[in-house]
Chains A and B, each alone.
Chain A
Amino acid sequence: MKAYLALMCRCLIISLFFASIGLLSNLATGNPLPWVYVRPMEVVLAGVKVELISEREALRFLDNPGAVFIDSRNCSDYSKSHVRGAICLPPDDVEQRFPSVEPLIPKDYRVILYCYGPECDMAEKVATFLGEMGYKNMMIMSSGFPAWDKAKYPVEDSTSKNSDPSDFARSFEVGEFLVAIGAHFQVFFRLVQG
């Protein structure tokens, strides 16, 4: 028992020694990293101040009729699971997709964007685009969807609700196409009968 305690003590001494070298070397650099990380409160994107919020703060807006969530992750991940009622708008094809989702995002709504987490800048890219399109009331849930999912806040997948408007638009186009074919068949049968 004593032997293990002594071994642990030596581990601790070695750890503290090298950890203090790390802290001192940080102080020696021109631009030292603060020891305590403080989450930035806001960023300015396309001239618009965008507040950075946590998943808990974002939850307050979930059932708010004047707020809309935008999922800026890849649509394949969106279809697996996303914040309940969120709209898929990834940055790669935001310009092509935006016209189909624009009616769902009135300019006076509060827009809450998210992506994969703190390392991901996809939400910021979409926020920049929306800022250029005239949206002024935006927030980014900087902890991303993993934190939302981990907190067990409401989620849904694409099978539970078709909330990707472009998919809806696509299915509507297919429906129109089928109706048109049906009409042509009707005319054809009338001609055959006649």
Chain B
Amino acid sequence: MKAGTKLKSAVCDTEVMVIRGSDAIVECGGSPMDVERPAQRGTLNPTFSEGTKIGKRYVDAAGTVEFLCVKAGQGSLSIGGVALQVKDAKPLPSSD
């Protein structure tokens, strides 16, 4: 996935932007995300239902992929069934 691509959840309102991509398919609420939403909304997998938060950046354990949440939703993000983690808040600049 190219950096800057926007992906939408198939099961909730979540939208993310690819910050650093790979060929891995990211899931939201347990279902693969895609550039277009499916015509019919799928069902949220309760294992991946902690929700996404707008403005948060999500990474995998190895730090190889990164997604920015641009629209929040009920599903949570995973790759191959492994949950992604929230990256810490940005430090503010010391000179703005």
- Does A pair with B? no
What residues of chain B have their CB less than 8 Å away from a CB belonging to chain A?
A: none
